[in-house]
Structure 1
Amino acid sequence: MPEHDFDTVIRAHRAVLPDGERPAVIGVRDGRIAAVADPGAAMTAARTLETAADEVLLPGLVDSHVHVNEPGRTEWEGFATATRAAAAGGVTTIVDMPLNSIPPTTTAAGLAAKRAAASGRIAVDVGFWGGAVPENSGPGAHAELRALHDQGVHGFKCFLSPSGVAEFGHLGPGRFRAAAAAISGFGGLLIVHAEDPSVLDAAPAAAGRDYAAFLASRPDAAEHAAIRLVIETARATGVRAHILHLSSATALPLIARAKADGVALTVETCPHYLTIAAEEVPAGATQFKCCPPIRGAANRDLLWRALADGLVDCVVSDHSPSTPDLKNLDTGDFGTAWGGVSGLQVGFSAVWTEAAARGHGLSDVVRWMARRPAEIAGIAGKGAIAAGNDADFAFVAPDAAVRVDAARLRHRNPVSAYDGRELRGAVRRTLLRGEPAGAAAGTPRGRLLARR
């Protein structure tokens, strides 16, 4: 008989479980959760861990929207740095976006290059999105989409407007509908950067240091029109569709009607849209530039209401870093700066700070930032403290103060819209399959994932 029941036992004074927040004892065997019991349960293990009096045990968070940028633009980020930052923020699973790397993940060869770059270097588990671009989405050109699906990508990202990088083209309405029909045919998921290029072209061009001018260059109407196209296409083809990084609340009535009608539609938003308002962005502060943009405080309130009501399904980072020179920090020109917010490591603290102030609990944050991203992306064994799942955990002190210092984050480059912000909720320790993750692990223990 074995000397112990489990490899590790975790005694949590408070744990966020699928049925709510309560004390629990969790038994871990072979990297998986083997038992979840009440505090009085007798469990023996080679190692016992206990939460501190001010800590809560959460499932490892799942961030399904991360631009790692490797290979090809590794100086922007990279698998080693991105996954260490994820672990430091309580995130134990990320899904890498198919663009900003060279090659992009639009072919089986591109996926192989990604996996080779990541292998042996990742501190958390990593899955991959494929990309739908003009080259693989025209009539008779869908073989690469099917090949990527068969090799386990979690779905297919496309842009309805220019992506910002030449090697990842956007889809016009015709090719978008053709790609949706093909992806629906093999049961895939289509995830969409939804901004309408004709609306963007008609808007005033962004230039200079004034954030209001940049905001005017990406109007709400661009998201509204593009989301209408996504819904119409999903309704016509039956494809499962997911709206990426919703920033505009004007589209919420469209989304509500579509969901009520049974359209297979899910929606994400991001920490920066929930915790920062346009009115707070200083002139020339290009670290806040992203597309679609951070909008006003009233819009932010409506996004929170939609999240609370379940109309918006999840919160993920859209971590889209670059080198500091591309952010034009010296000139502060919003017109030419790279658009992307770097926030992978601080997403939990940012969201929890605002969520707690609005009366939400940790169970809500776990639903938005762990369970629903895992479900939408089709990631098995993640997102909940439940028997059979991977033993991925974040030990957090929800009332501990956190002051963000971009220079001390584990992202490759010290640029972040959260720099200097006073937040609440410290991640003290992260476990991946029951073992330390990130800098505490020494050897990277992450695995490459495929769609469930």
Structure 2
Amino acid sequence: MSEHELVVRADRALTPEGERPVTVVVDDGRIIDVLSGTDVAVDARRELRLADDEVLLPGLVDSHVHVNEPGRTEWEGFASATRAAALGGVTTLVDMPLNSVPPTTTTDHLKTKKAAAEGKLAVDVGFWGGAVPENTGPDTIGALADLWAEGVFGFKSFLSPSGVDEFGHLDPEHLDTAAGAIHAFGGLLIVHAEDPTVLDSAPAASGREYADFLASRPDEAEHAAIALVVDTARRTGVRAHVLHLSSASVLPLIAQAKQEGVPLTVESCPHYLTLAAEEIPAGDTSYKCCPPIRDSANRDLLWRALQDGLIDCVVSDHSPSTPDLKELDTGDFGTAWGGVAGLQLGLSAMWTEAAGRGVPLADVVRWMSAGPARVAGVRGKGTIAVGNQADLAVFAPEEPFRVSVGELAHRNPVSAYDGAELKGRVRRTLLRGAEVTADSVDGHMITR
């Protein structure tokens, strides 16, 4: 009998066939067998047996992370972001094309991004490209095909200002041009969907009251923008993905589009599913993000859509910044940077909320592993299955802990989850069968 690289024995494991006791056999970083039961005779150089209170999960896939390096590395960087990911059970992330400088909108910029990531990765990292006015004109549209050929997972666009000058938003004409080009080579268009006209007509945000900020980003802004995305996908045939859905008012429109066969997928984020507008303290700008966290009734409808399969996946939209940009001293929601830092805590936050709603852990993990892998086109990850990479997380679902922002691994000590009482802690993370440690730099840069 040959000796294998690793066996993992778990009385509880979340597999595509359901939760069951398994022995996972690993060679060359891949799962070569998933055997029923934990007492199967298998020789291996290393063995990991889970404790009675632990569950074996597939490594999570987070397809919406702003790493920001190079250019704004003081906000976040590859070393800190991937370490935080690993501590949260995330073994693969896909980096957004902003807020790095330069943004990932040309192949040269992609090379710059990859050079910045070299030798710093604790987990695997892929890259989104960006669709901006500069590369969606008649003379520059070929830049998108060039980026696709380099292996980016798709193309992010904004329909309203992004918050950074170097990543402009697309008007309907540029969106249409980008969609046609992306459809021609079989790519994926992912969209921050808020309508600029609606935003311009809403009351301006200022001051410490969260309700005033919420009024400045009304549901109608998401509804109008997503209607444009649906219409564009219907006309051009482009595969379109709605980023960070926060407004439940748009769900009937999404349901109708999917029923018609429009090639549309949708994500939401832990902060929209676990936090509520009426619970946000005055002046606590760590909660500010765009689109905004809405009320608890809205949150309930998002959960129902998740359970009905209308929302395809849950990802972090980890969008950190330095503390000064969050205006923590003044608490002014109008001027503070918008973004929630939660990469390390997504699974625990989601499971805490799900458990209170009677939602099984298996559903939460599927929304955060297989779901993002399917939507983004990340191959060989997201499930505990033969042939997939041995990316695994060991999770203690009943272990409680209190979040202390200073103990989190992302670069700056700002998070809306600071002080939260959560349930469920990731105790180990394995990347291709090797345990990720504080010094690990074994992550790969991946392509689709």
Scaled to the shorter chain, the TM-score interval is over 0.9
Counterpart in 1 of 2:28? Answer: 30
SS at match of 1:205: coil
Counterpart of 1:423, as a letter, is L
Counterpart in 2 of 1:328? Answer: 327
Kindly indicate whether the alpha-carbon contact (under 8 Å) linking 1:392 and 1:432 is maintained by their aligned counterparts in 2: yes
Counterpart in 2 of 1:207? Answer: 206
CA distance in 2, matches of 1:187, 1:36: 34
Counterpart in 2 of 1:445? Answer: 442
CA distance in 2, matches of 1:402, 1:182: 48
Counterpart in 1 of 2:169? Answer: 170
SS at match of 1:426: strand
SS at match of 1:158: strand
Counterpart of 1:274, as a letter, is L
SS at match of 1:127: strand
SS at match of 1:344: coil
SS at match of 2:344: helix
Counterpart in 1 of 2:182? Answer: 183
Counterpart of 1:220, as a letter, is D
CA distance in 2, matches of 1:301, 1:361: 16
Kindly indicate whether the alpha-carbon contact (under 8 Å) linking 2:69 and 2:77 is maintained by their aligned counterparts in 1: yes
Counterpart in 2 of 1:125? Answer: 124
Counterpart of 2:32, as a letter, is A
Counterpart in 2 of 1:92? Answer: 91
Aligned-pair distance for 1:51?
Answer: 0.5
Counterpart in 2 of 1:151? Answer: 150
Counterpart in 1 of 2:134? Answer: 135
CA distance in 2, matches of 1:263, 1:130: 23
CA distance in 1, matches of 2:437, 2:121: 9
CA distance in 2, matches of 1:375, 1:213: 37
CA distance in 1, matches of 2:85, 2:440: 16
* Counterpart mapping for 1:4-403 below 5 A: 4=3, 6-39=4-37, 40-403=39-402
Aligned-pair distance for 1:436?
Answer: 1.0
CA distance in 2, matches of 1:73, 1:247: 26
CA distance in 1, matches of 2:20, 2:198: 49
CA distance in 1, matches of 2:105, 2:181: 15
CA distance in 2, matches of 1:369, 1:438: 22
CA distance in 1, matches of 2:360, 2:32: 26
Could you list the per-position Cα deviations for residues 395-436 of structure 1 after superposition, in whole angstroms to 9, with x for gaps in the alignment?
A: 000011021111100010000000000001010000000001
CA distance in 2, matches of 1:226, 1:397: 40
Aligned-pair distance for 1:438?
Answer: 3.9
Counterpart of 2:272, as a letter, is Y
Aligned-pair distance for 1:360?
Answer: 1.2
Counterpart of 1:342, as a letter, is A
CA distance in 1, matches of 2:26, 2:363: 25
CA distance in 1, matches of 2:231, 2:52: 51
Aligned-pair distance for 1:289?
Answer: 0.1
Runs ≥4 in structure 1, deviation > 6 angstroms?
none
Aligned-pair distance for 1:284?
Answer: 0.2
Of residues 129-138 and 36-45 in structure 1, the stretch that sits farther from structure 2 once superposed is 36-45
CA distance in 2, matches of 1:303, 1:14: 28
Kindly indicate whether the alpha-carbon contact (under 8 Å) linking 1:85 and 1:438 is maintained by their aligned counterparts in 2: no
Counterpart of 1:295, as a letter, is R
CA distance in 2, matches of 1:10, 1:192: 39
CA distance in 2, matches of 1:63, 1:315: 8
Counterpart of 1:309, as a letter, is D
TM-score by length of 2: 0.99
Aligned-pair distance for 1:334?
Answer: 0.3
SS at match of 2:369: helix
CA distance in 2, matches of 1:305, 1:21: 23
Counterpart of 1:33, as a letter, is I
Counterpart of 1:339, as a letter, is G
Kindly indicate whether the alpha-carbon contact (under 8 Å) linking 1:124 and 1:438 is maintained by their aligned counterparts in 2: no
Counterpart of 1:35, as a letter, is D
Could you list the per-position Cα deviations for residues 23-67 of structure 1 after superposition, in whole angstroms to 9, with x for gaps in the alignment?
A: 000000000001000124221101110111100000000000000
SS at match of 2:11: strand
CA distance in 2, matches of 1:261, 1:437: 44
Counterpart of 2:20, as a letter, is R
Kindly indicate whether the alpha-carbon contact (under 8 Å) linking 1:88 and 1:438 is maintained by their aligned counterparts in 2: no
CA distance in 2, matches of 1:357, 1:242: 29
The answer for unaligned runs of 5 or more in structure 2 is none
CA distance in 1, matches of 2:349, 2:153: 27
Kindly indicate whether the alpha-carbon contact (under 8 Å) linking 2:121 and 2:440 is maintained by their aligned counterparts in 1: no
Counterpart of 1:26, as a letter, is V
Counterpart of 2:441, as a letter, is P
TM-score by length of 1: 0.98
Aligned-pair distance for 1:443?
Answer: 3.6
Among all aligned residue pairs of Structure 1 and Structure 2, give the percentage whose two residues are the same amino acid.
Answer: 69
Alignment RMSD (CA, Å): 0.7
Aligned-pair distance for 1:140?
Answer: 3.1
Counterpart in 1 of 2:427? Answer: 428
CA distance in 2, matches of 1:97, 1:159: 12
Kindly indicate whether the alpha-carbon contact (under 8 Å) linking 1:83 and 1:438 is maintained by their aligned counterparts in 2: no
Counterpart of 1:153, as a letter, is V
Count residues with an aligned counterpart. Answer: 447
Counterpart of 2:405, as a letter, is A
CA distance in 2, matches of 1:443, 1:348: 21
Aligned-pair distance for 1:138?
Answer: 1.5
